[in-house]
A and B are shown apart, each in its own frame.
Chain A
Amino acid sequence: DAMVIQNPRYQVTQFGKPVTLSCSQTLNHNVMYWYQQKSSQAPKLLFHYYDKDFNNEADTPDNFQSRRPNTSFCFLDIRSPGLGDAAMYLCATSRGGSIAYEQYFGPGTRLTVT
């Protein structure tokens, strides 16, 4: 059974047109992450939620926002996508705590910007 689900798997948007990617989990994990991964590169952490606490990475552009309305769901909003935002977006979850645990990843959403 899928534990971290991302929808859609493929998303095409136009330059400057807002887009939302979604992630849901059945693991009841405290922490949810969003990563951006460009071709042949490492996943880059954009931000994460520990429960309702939002933690933004210092170099994440303001164009990227996130919402976590409840434990199960987390959304990535790209307010004005540019061509450079075309990438695979990965959602992950983790138990969280004073020590870190392994992350569980979704299959990713591949975003194309035209």
Chain B
Amino acid sequence: SQQGEEDPQALSIQEGENATMNCSYKTSINNLQWYRQNSGRGLVHLILIRSNEREKHSGRLRVTLDTSKKSSSLLITASRAADTASYFCATDAGGNQFYFGTGTSLTVIP
């Protein structure tokens, strides 16, 4: 399977704290993307990082990519209750196919 793995599986933090989740994958990639999914809904794209990039920022999000370790991390700073969702990484190894990681369920307690 080309599916990646994320850890932790579940994360619970207080509002205002930072949340970090990690994604590991198995094959070489062209890019890696992070998505958010609210319960029972479709996925929303958060950020894309290409294989030649090491770090990317978007608002309160910071993504890093280490291709030598085949891993990525997503940091959400100053979390809010509205950030409560599942977060998935998705890798693209070419051919416009995406494979999702196992996901991290984030709960932000007000």
Contacts and interface: CB of A to CB of B under 8 A. Distances in A.
Contacts of A44: 3, 100
A106 to B, nearest CB: 5
A42 B30 contact: no
Q: Which of A42, A48, A92 has its CB near the most chain B CB atoms (within 10 A)?
A: A42
A107 B41 CA distance: 5
B30 A100 contact: yes
Interface residues of A, number: 31
A82 interface: no
B82 interface: no
A44 B31 CA distance: 18
Contacts of B90: 103
Interface of B: 3, 30-31, 33, 35, 40-45, 48, 50, 88, 90, 92, 95-103, 105
Interface of A: 4, 31, 33, 35, 40-45, 48, 50, 55, 57, 88, 90, 92, 94, 96-97, 99-108, 110
What 10 pairs between A and B have smallest CB-CB spacing?
Answer: A105-B42, A102-B45, A42-B100, A100-B92, A105-B43, A107-B42, A43-B100, A96-B96, A31-B96, A108-B42
